[in-house]
């Protein structure tokens, strides 16, 4: 079997978008000259880029390969190994830090409570089980960005069921799911495309299955010359940037235009999947590829680190937007430089997290998934399994670095 295609340009975009999300959260908690930027104020929308890209990549990797319950179980184990171990480590570490901080002087917002707050005990189990995007908790509890990981994991299982029963006939059911998700968000979700802990699972369905449809469009897209591909790539960036700018006035004033996120990002993914233009060539350079590898860790660790930074500044008497308190020290220097330093620190720590947590955990779960599972199959299912078992199913093929989940 030929080696699976690597969408390296898209992988790099994942890393860049993860940094945009970091900046979005930074300007929400720290004073900054960039806090009025309409692009950064709406950069929460790049979570929808992650959803679209996950649907695109998983369709590329798994379409036609889940034909029986054993395949589905292996898929679920691999997906759990991709997203849960780092989430569990970050959650446990953050809980320990909050418990320790509660023994010291701290702002009221960091109070450890039994229920009803961001740092409540009753929210720990739903968070650990990735049930933090289904309305079972109130607010973005503990590690706030992890809601999207919870939403994705259960959408993965929905996708596997669809593969099990629909095989390769995915376009119409996935298009129906994506459109239905957008309709439900428009009718039910007050925050529209900024839905998180309440309607986050529906938001993920819209983006993920939009990404599956985008993969099928990519398959029938013809080759472009270098110049033409470059123009398409530039156009995709301009459209995406303008969309983000005009999709509302920050996370608390979301426009109905935000519902176009799966379409806008789906088009961008299709264009850059070809990897034929100048921008794709630049994005395939080693620094951008590394940023793509670390994107999941960047996304998962940045919020607890930002909260710890704000707590340290609060303790020193400096002003932040995260915690109220007496301001006794004037800011010396530029907060924007603090943001640059913070982002560099996040990338360095994410590299370590990728190396020492993500990769070992993924390999361990993949080894578990490769074990035989005893299910009773029909003769047709056994024959299908025998054919699929001959396909290479390694980390570098179906679970490559782009496949963040």
Residue 393 has pLDDT above 70, yes or no: no
Task: Give the model confidence (pLDDT) of 44-64 as tens digits.
Answer: 999 999 999 999 999 999 998
Considering only residues 300 and 4, tell me which one the structure prediction assigns the higher pLDDT. Answer: 300
Reported pTM = 0.90
Q: Exposed e or buried b for every residue in 309-326, given b needs 16+ CB within 10 A?
A: bbbebbeeebbbebbebe
Q: Tokens 């029986």 label which residue? A: 68
Q: Is 6 exposed, middle or buried (0-12, 13-18, 19+ CB in 10 A)?
A: middle
Determine the pLDDT at residue 366.
93
Task: Give the model confidence (pLDDT) of 259-283 as tens digits.
Answer: 999 999 999 999 999 999 999 999 9
Task: Give the model confidence (pLDDT) of 234-261 as tens digits.
Answer: 999 999 999 999 999 999 999 999 999 9
DSSP state of 113: B
Residue 224 has pLDDT above 80, yes or no: yes
Q: How far is C-alpha 110 from the chain's CA centre?
A: 25
Determine the pLDDT at residue 380.
53
- Domain positions in the chain: 8-389
Please tell me the least confidently modeled range out of 134-138, 214-218, 326-330, 382-386.
382-386
């Amino acid at each position: 079997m030929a080696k699976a295609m690597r969408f390296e340009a898209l992988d790099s975009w994942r890393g860049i978008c993860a940094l945009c999300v970091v900046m979005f959260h930074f300007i929400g908690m720290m004073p900054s000259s960039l806090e009025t930027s309409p692009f950064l104020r709406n950069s929460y929308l790049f979570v929808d880029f992650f959803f679209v890209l996950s649907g695109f990549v998983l369709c590329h990797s798994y379409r036609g390969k889940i034909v029986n319950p054993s395949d589905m179980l292996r898929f679920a184990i691999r997906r759990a190994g991709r997203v849960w171990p780092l989430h569990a480590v970050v959650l446990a570490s953050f809980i320990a830090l909050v418990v320790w901080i509660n023994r010291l002087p701290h702002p009221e917002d960091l109070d450890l409570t039994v229920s009803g707050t961001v740092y409540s005990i009753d929210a720990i189990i739903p968070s650990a089980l990735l049930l933090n995007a289904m309305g079972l908790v109130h607010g973005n509890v503990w590690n706030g960005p992890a809601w999207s990981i919870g939403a994705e994991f259960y959408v993965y299982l929905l996708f596997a069921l669809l593969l099990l029963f629909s095989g390769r006939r995915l376009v119409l059911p996935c298009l129906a799911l994506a459109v239905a998700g957008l309709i439900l968000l428009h009718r039910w979700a007050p925050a529209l495309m900024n839905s998180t802990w309440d309607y986050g699972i529906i938001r993920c369905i819209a983006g993920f299955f939009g990404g599956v449809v985008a993969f099928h469009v990519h398959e029938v897209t013809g080759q472009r010359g270098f110049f033409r591909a470059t123009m398409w790539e530039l156009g995709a960036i301009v459209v995406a940037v303008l969309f983000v700018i005009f999709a509302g006035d920050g996370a608390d004033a979301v426009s109905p235009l935000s519902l176009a996120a799966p379409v806008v990002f789906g088009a961008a993914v299709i264009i850059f999947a070809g990897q034929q233009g100048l921008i794709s060539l630049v994005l395939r350079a080693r620094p951008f590829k590394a940023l793509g590898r670390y994107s999941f860790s960047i996304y998962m660790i940045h919020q607890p680190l930002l909260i710890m930074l704000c707590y340290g500044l609060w303790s020193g008497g400096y002003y932040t937007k995260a915690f109220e308190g007496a301001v006794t020290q004037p800011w010396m220097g530029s907060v924007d430089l603090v943001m640059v330093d913070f982002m560099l620190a996040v990338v360095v720590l994410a590299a370590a997290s990728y190396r020492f947590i993500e990769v070992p955990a993924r390999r361990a779960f993949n080894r578990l998934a490769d074990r035989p599972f005893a299910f009773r199959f029909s003769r047709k299912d056994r024959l299908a399994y025998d054919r699929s078992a001959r396909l290479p199913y390694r980390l570098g093929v179906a679970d490559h670095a782009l496949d963040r989940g």
